[in-house]
A and B are shown apart, each in its own frame.
Chain A
Amino acid sequence: MAKITLEDVDYVAGLAHLTLNPETREAMARDLGSILEYIDQLERLDTSGVEPMMHVLDVTNVYREDTVGESLSQEDAFKNAPKTDGEYFLVPKILDGE
């Protein structure tokens, strides 16, 4: 099943918004290929009729009550912002459908 092509790497890098240099791109194809080949041993395992385990804790219905708590001060909200005018977090202009 595995065998990762450079196109596969480009596709997932696109999804993850990572830019790989040519060297890394090939190394990633190789590494992901060998890891996935190892992972493919799972194909041998019969899981028919087994429920997927989404949580190890058998707990349901954990909620918070609808009460308003404290928000951050403007100072704390923007403390780590790489670019801000003190009102907004700034980004390069967003184009429609981007």
Chain B
Amino acid sequence: MSAVEKAAKPKVTIIEAISKAYQDAFAEDPKVITLGEDLADPEGGGIAKITKGLSTSFGDDRVRSTPISEQAIMGAAIGASLAGYKPIAEIMLMNFTTVAMDMIVNHAAKLRFMSGGQTSVPIVVRTMTGLGFGSGGQHCDYLEAWFAHTPGVKVCTPSTPEDAYGLLRAAIDDPDPVIFIENMPTYRTPMSFELPSSGHRVPLGQAAVQREGSDVTIVTYGRMAMLARAAADQAAEAGISVEVIDLRTIAPWDRDTVLASARKTGRVIIVHEAVKQHGAGAEIAAVIGEELFGALKKPVKRLGGAYSAVPYSRPLENAYAPDGDSILAAIKDIAS
């Protein structure tokens, strides 16, 4: 157990933390606004009910349901941000960001630079994804590497309720566009954490060492960090001491924390649910190679999604991404 989880803390869920972050941000800053499909109360408060109650409390000027029009949603968020507002644009599922890609990649990411700093786009794009529901090829992709490859947008994703709160609040405060990715299948997993107070922030770009260890470093994020924590506990029983680093922010990522740990253990495994090939792990592995060549005891290992669309059939979906067993096997292999 890590320091953060040790004490017997109340069980809370990531979804509760995100809802509270909305409540607090809306209460504290009248410039915070939100828009997206079905998110106001007459439409049920969002498919995951995260914004339930928000439009009733803060009014339907600030909390707007939209037509199914992702480009229009993203454009409106960008425009309002240019005029001093702090919009949170909800794109229901990460695959639907593809419909708004021009707005995000050509505009949100670049307006500050192209205007020589005269304009800025302090928006948050909140979006959900993750396999596990048998929804097949168009509803659960992890596309973080696309955004991480786009200078001008920050990308983050939490794996604990505290981080969900702290990262979302930091993303709202941030002067630049942030893609905030949530893993849907673990939304309602109760975890032993406290719901943070309204001052809590997790600075963007700062990783968390969630388990300390000396033999193996795992660099990961999102649902895979949850699996890695459990695998680290199992590995400890087998006498292997694993350090688990949750990046939390994928772009810009915390090189110092990762390199310090890699230098200490000399054995690094990078795990993400996204397709392994050309994934965020490739960048991390390359930097470790550039900086620590010679200090490594084993080649860096990467675990990631298979090179295919997410398949529908249960046994295929189960085999598609890393799981606790494959992470544990990788730990044992690299430690041997």
Please indicate whether A and B come from the same complex rather than being unrelated chains. Answer: no
Seen from chain B, the residues whose Cβ lies within 8 Å of a Cβ on chain A are: none
Chain A interface (Cβ < 8 Å from any Cβ of B): none
